[in-house]
Amino acid sequence: MIERIIGKRTHDLGGGFEVGRVLPFHARRTVGPYIFFDHMGPADLAPGFAREMDVRPHPHIGISTVTYLYDGALTHRDSLGVTQDIRPGEVNWMVTGSGITHSERFDHAREHGAHMHGIQAWVALPTEHEEADPAFYHHEGSGDLPTWEEKGLRGRLIAGSVEGMRSAVKVHSPQFYMHWDMDAGASRILPTEYEERAVYVAEGTAEVAGQLLRTGQMAVLEPGKDASVTAREAATIMVLGGDPIGERFMLWNFVSSSKDRIEQAREDWRQGRMKLPDADNEEFTPFPEDRDYA
């Protein structure tokens, strides 16, 4: 019932802040439209740490980015003029479409210190929406992000629709993305509502379709079969998937169904033709010239 288990690989975002990269993986590039999945932290940051740990302004095309935190805080600034803090249980959803730039900085943590822990995901846009106008949405509260409790489990639907629930997040293709906090011994069935599904253990250990997963492992499930998820100790679980999105190319922060479009975006960034955020325009992330297609 498990097609593949993928472990996170350590990746330095710069300045010493490391993440665990799960997707893309050479043998499994996407799960539904989810083309990128980074596990941030957990990391304890003391007040006054260097700004080099921040994610400086950088560009994107062809995706929606999803920031979701368990602990800590981040400040988002983008070329649309948006400045938005995000805190645990909230969602920052940025449609990059034809092109946007943004930064994510640890303003709160630098002043007060913080325990940082969360997930950064990218959702590939369908071909007909790849050049959509960029947009930014912030969501919080159960009115936007349905929450529920059942025996030993507290859940939140971050995006999409599943099991009769629908998130207020604007998605462009059929998908779902959930957060489960599970007590030790809690168990739940993940139904076959979507063709492609995966379960990620962000903290703790869990048995998924009869196989034990530890922190930092993702189980990609076989289609068409229910899968049981049982927490062997208190666990934080992310469940995601959707309809297949088709082939996508990825170079650095650029995602598209067309390599020509990616090459255009690379040159636009090199030549300074993509506007920086008004509230964060004194530095930027250069294109990494040693980077090749993922």
> Is position 288 within any domain?
no
How many angstroms separate the CA atoms of 19 and 41, rounded?
6
Per-residue pLDDT of the chain (294 residues; tens, 9 = 90+): 899 999 999 987 665 667 899 999 999 999 999 999 999 999 999 999 988 889 999 999 999 999 999 999 999 999 999 999 999 999 999 999 999 999 999 999 999 999 999 999 999 999 999 999 999 999 999 999 999 999 999 999 999 999 999 999 999 999 999 999 999 999 999 989 999 999 999 999 999 999 999 999 999 999 999 999 999 999 999 999 999 999 999 999 999 999 999 999 999 999 999 999 999 999 999 999 999 998
> Is position 116 within any domain?
yes
> Is position 106 within any domain?
yes
> Is position 248 within any domain?
no
Q: Is 60 annotated as a binding residue?
A: yes
Please classify residue 28 by burial: count the beta carbons closer than 10 Å to its beta carbon, then call 0-12 exposed, 13-18 middle and 19+ buried.
middle
> Is position 133 within any domain?
yes
Number of domains in the chain: 1
95 contacts 60 by C-beta, under 8 angstroms: no
Question: What range does the domain containing 7 cover?
Answer: 2-242
> Is position 47 within any domain?
yes
> Is position 270 within any domain?
no
Q: Is 58 annotated as a binding residue?
A: yes
CATH number at residue 131: 2.60.120.10
Please classify residue 151 by burial: count the beta carbons closer than 10 Å to its beta carbon, then call 0-12 exposed, 13-18 middle and 19+ buried.
exposed
Q: Is 115 annotated as a binding residue?
A: no
> Is position 189 within any domain?
yes
Q: Is 11 annotated as a binding residue?
A: no
pLDDT tens-digit map of 213-233: 999 999 999 999 999 999 999
pTM tops 0.75, yes or no: yes
Residue carrying structure tokens 């007909």:
128
Q: CA–CA distance from 289 to each of 24, 159, 286 (Å)? A: 20, 34, 9
